[in-house]
């Protein structure tokens, strides 16, 4: 940033500070119901209202299964994007859990929850009316459960406990109610206080059978709920039973939120309600230290209002002087985050965490060379995206971002578009356009619903598209890009089954006409060129080899390395196709699932191109430009020998298929025990040992 920009920046910052206190205002939400009514509440499921009391489950003399929910009609603001502020809240309510047959009938409990959904209603039984038994991860919530049944499925400690639940009924922390002499299902009216202080990242739950708030909390948790509190949330209670006569009642309810700031000081508060009128003094207990903190904050604000202008004027002078000294000949260090990209958007970590449901395992759609890929739903655009998450060492991150700043500037119709990025909390997050059909690997081998749609014209078009983008990377970019990890799982399919190359986690940039440098061999077995395995030198010809394997895979519908259906012998796809070629029956290698619905000449041409690219002799492999021209009938085909050429190396590195697969299997068992048996193993070999 040059000196003029320094001065402009500081002046803008100065005026923003002066105007801040006149623009930013806080909005506190308060309501108090000494008795409940349908004017402000919505009843779902089996819940009902009687004489100002809400019953959440059916009241019956015989065991039954039931679930019900009551929700406050108006959404409550908990997060303001413009000021990046999160609300604290405190709530107080009285409830009763009774059972006409406590000996043989029990469960399941009641909960207070916050949810982004105004229609939260779950299944009966141990699901507490919060989640559906068939879709455990569908409903999102923050809940305090008052559980009256021991359910080992959810790791309950006993049948009389309180717990904090976030998007799951497996509580983050629990506390035994018996420790303070309370039996939840005694039939006595119990009053609960729940206080969350965002500044201190702390949540406390108090319980008492009297109207007085205890000094010590039953449950005390240090937790940051700001990661889960959205811009608006709905409040409510839920309860459930399963084969039980237990009943659940809510008799009174008070709530207040504070600390969230808004840029518009004229916002009115529609939520401050009581039974009949606006409540000026809600009957809710807020600790004295909160009042002291407010006084302290006012004093601090006054001090900052006086000292702030002085500080910024001094800062202007200092920065102006330093900038003037550096005016001639001094360059400012580049900030990788600022220089990363001007096109793709910079996302906040919070936004991506919300979009991926907290990077939940159910959102994982793949694993790349440097991290997991999550399906995300971006609130800003309403579109689906793919978020790649990786964690790097401090040293490796700088190098990676430097490469990414160039790679992300690549533009080609057969690349997966990069939409944005985020570097926060020690993580690197990349946001890509979501590919609806996933990878070729998924369509060919896993997704039985869609592989039949992959007709021959789609497959041939995939080969052309992949050749086009590799021609661009190898020969048309300012610096040559060597991908190093071309495989079917890294080739995505868009909505029109066009190939989109992704995952540049192992890519390397090289100046054209420069000799390759030996590196740690990295990639996936079956796609690696022999010379790359031997010497660890990645070139455009090693990418060509991998392309050839992918082409054969797409054409034949078989993995690069497979076990025989009978026995344990490994079959190499390249060797298998070459054997058919030597017999003059190369077209017999085509995927049988195509039911002979293909162009025979195109099949022959594509298989020959695949073998020419997978030639063990790197010097005999064509360039990707030549491949692209051949597939478009713009160049003559390359003659492929009937017998596969054999290469010999002076190194003692074992290159037989059985040796490589067995050694990589051993490493795979240690690193990825859950990998399928017929999955292609990944290997990493240090060339210094060759």
Segment 586-639, tens digit of pLDDT: 999 999 988 888 999 999 999 999 999 999 999 999 999 999 999 999 988 889
Query: pTM of the full predicted structure?
Result: 0.48
Catalytic residues: 485
Angle formed by the axes of helices 3-23 and 288-325, nearest 10°: 160
| CA dist., res. 3 & res. 176, Å (int) | 62
Residue 187, Cβ neighbours under 10 Å: how many? 14
Per-residue model confidence (pLDDT) at position 665: 42
Residue among 315, 323, 327, 386 nearest 355 (CA): 386
Question: Residue 298: enclosing H or E segment and its boundaries?
Answer: helix 288-325
| CA dist., res. 501 & res. 416, Å (int) | 6
Per-residue model confidence (pLDDT) at position 450: 56
Which tokens go with 206? 């108090």
| CA dist., res. 414 & res. 494, Å (int) | 9
Which tokens go with 120? 């939260």
| CA dist., res. 155 & res. 625, Å (int) | 60
Question: Residue 243: enclosing H or E segment and its boundaries?
Answer: strand 232-244
Beta bridge partners of 499: 493
Per-residue model confidence (pLDDT) at position 216: 93
3-state secondary structure 458-507: HHHHHHHHHHHHHHHHHHHCCCEEECCCCCHHHEEECCCCCEEECCCCCC
| Number of Cα atoms under 13 Å in the Cβ half of residue 289 | 4
Q: How many residues belong to the chain?
A: 690
Sort residue 522 into left (φ over 0), alpha (ψ -120 to 50) or beta. Answer: beta
Sort residue 263 into left (φ over 0), alpha (ψ -120 to 50) or beta. Answer: alpha
Q: Are residues 116 and 228 in contact, defined by beta-carbon separation less than 8 angstroms? A: no
Which residues touch 530 (CB under 8 Å, ≥6 apart)? 616, 647, 649, 655
Per-residue model confidence (pLDDT) at position 283: 39
Residue among 332, 338, 372 nearest 352 (CA): 372
Residue 204, Cβ neighbours under 10 Å: how many? 17
Ranges under pLDDT 50 in the chain: 3, 17-24, 265-270, 274-293, 327-342, 395-396, 515, 517-520, 650-690
| CA dist., res. 577 & res. 575, Å (int) | 6
Residue 138, Cβ neighbours under 10 Å: how many? 12
Q: Annotated binding site for ATP, which residues?
A: 388
Task: Sort strands 418-424 and 345-346 into parallel, antiparallel or unpaired.
Answer: parallel
Q: Are residues 124 and 46 in contact, defined by beta-carbon separation less than 8 angstroms? A: no
| CA dist., res. 458 & res. 226, Å (int) | 46
Backbone angles phi, psi at 21, to 5 degrees: -70, -25
Q: Are residues 630 and 488 in contact, defined by beta-carbon separation less than 8 angstroms? A: no
| CA dist., res. 377 & res. 636, Å (int) | 47
DSSP string covering 592-636: GGGTT-S-HHHHHHHHHHHHHHT-SSGGGSPPHHHHHHHHTTSSP
How large is the C-alpha radius of gyration of the chain? 32
Supply the DSSP symbol for 74: S
| Number of Cα atoms under 13 Å in the Cβ half of residue 396 | 10
Per-residue model confidence (pLDDT) at position 427: 80
Domain architecture of the chain: domains with CATH: 26-293 (2.60.120.200), 337-433 (3.30.200.20), 440-689 (1.10.510.10)
Backbone angles phi, psi at 351, to 5 degrees: -60, -40
Which tokens go with 131? 């989640």
CA 64, chain centre distance (Å)? 40
């Amino acid at each position: 940033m040059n000196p003029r920009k320094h001065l402009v920046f500081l002046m803008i910052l100065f005026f923003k500070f002066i105007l801040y206190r006149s623009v930013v205002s806080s909005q506190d939400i308060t309501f108090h119901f000494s008795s409940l009514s349908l004017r402000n509440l919505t009843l779902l499921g089996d819940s009902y209202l009687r004489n100002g009391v809400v019953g959440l489950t059916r009241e019956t003399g015989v065991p039954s299964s039931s679930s019900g929910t009551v929700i406050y009609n108006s959404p409550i603001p908990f997060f303001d994007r413009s000021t990046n502020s999160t609300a604290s809240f405190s709530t107080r309510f009285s409830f009763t859990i009774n059972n006409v047959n406590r000996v043989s009938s029990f469960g399941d409990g009641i909960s207070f929850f916050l949810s982004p959904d105004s229609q939260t209603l779950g299944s009966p039984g141990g699901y507490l009316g919060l989640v559906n038994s068939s879709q455990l991860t569908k409903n999102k919530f923050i809940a305090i459960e008052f559980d009256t049944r021991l359910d080992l499925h959810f790791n309950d400690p006993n049948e009389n406990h309180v717990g904090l639940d976030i998007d799951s009924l497996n509580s983050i922390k629990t506390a035994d109610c018996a420790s303070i002499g309370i039996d939840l299902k005694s039939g006595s009216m119990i009053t609960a206080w729940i206080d969350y202080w965002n500044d201190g990242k702390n949540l406390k739950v108090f319980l008492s059978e009297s109207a007085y708030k205890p000094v010590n909390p039953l449950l005390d948790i240090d937790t940051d709920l700001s990661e889960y509190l959205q811009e608006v949330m709905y409040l409510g209670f839920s309860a459930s039973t399963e084969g039980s006569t237990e009943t659940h009642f809510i008799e009174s309810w008070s709530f207040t939120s504070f600390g969230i700031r808004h840029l518009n000081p004229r916002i009115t508060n529609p939520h401050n309600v009581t039974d009949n009128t606006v409540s000026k003094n809600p009957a809710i207990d807020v600790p004295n230290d909160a009042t002291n903190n407010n006084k302290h904050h006012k004093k601090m604000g006054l001090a900052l209002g006086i000292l702030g202008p002085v500080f910024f004027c001094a800062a202007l002078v200092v920065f102006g002087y330093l900038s003037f000294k550096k005016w001639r000949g001094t360059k400012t260090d580049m900030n990788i985050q600022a220089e990363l990209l001007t096109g793709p958007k910079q996302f906040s970590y919070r936004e991506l965490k919300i979009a991926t449901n907290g990077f939940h395992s159910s959102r994982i759609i793949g694993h790349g060379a440097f991290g997991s890929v999550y399906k995300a739903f971006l609130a800003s655009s309403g579109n689906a995206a793919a978020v790649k998450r990786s964690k790097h060492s401090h040293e490796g991150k700088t190098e990676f971002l430097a490469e990414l700043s160039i790679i992300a500037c690549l533009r080609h119709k057969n690349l997966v578009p990069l939409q944005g990025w985020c570097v926060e909390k020690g993580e690197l997050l990349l946001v890509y356009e979501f590919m609806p059909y996933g990878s070729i690997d998924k369509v060919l081998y896993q997704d039985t619903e869609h592989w039949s749609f992959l007709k021959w014209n789609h497959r041939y078009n995939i080969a052309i598209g992949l050749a086009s983008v590799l021609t661009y990377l190898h020969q048309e970019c300012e610096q040559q890009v060597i991908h190093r990890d071309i495989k079917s799982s890294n080739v995505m399919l868009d909505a029109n089954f066009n190939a989109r190359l992704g995952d540049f986690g192992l890519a390397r940039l090289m100046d054209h006409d420069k000799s390759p440098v030996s590196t740690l061999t990295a990639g996936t077995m079956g796609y690696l060129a022999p010379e790359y395995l031997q010497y660890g030198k990645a070139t455009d010809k090693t990418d060509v080899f991998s392309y050839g394997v992918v082409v054969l895979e797409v054409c034949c519908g078989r993995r690069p390395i497979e076990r025989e259906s009978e026995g344990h012998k490994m079959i190499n796809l390249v060797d298998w196709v070459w054997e058919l070629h030597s017999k003059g029956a190369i077209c017999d290698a085509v995927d049988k699932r195509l039911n002979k619905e293909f162009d025979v000449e195109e099949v022959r041409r594509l298989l020959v191109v695949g073998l020419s690219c997978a030639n063990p002799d790197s010097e005999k492999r064509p360039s990707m430009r030549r491949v692209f021209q051949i597939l478009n009938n713009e160049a003559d085909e390359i003659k492929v020998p009937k017998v596969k050429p054999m290469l010999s190396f002076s190194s003692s590195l074992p290159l037989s298929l059985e040796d490589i697969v067995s050694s990589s299997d051993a490493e795979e068992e240690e690193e990825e025990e859950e990998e399928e048996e017929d999955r292609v193993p990944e290997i990493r070999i240090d060339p210094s040992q060759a």
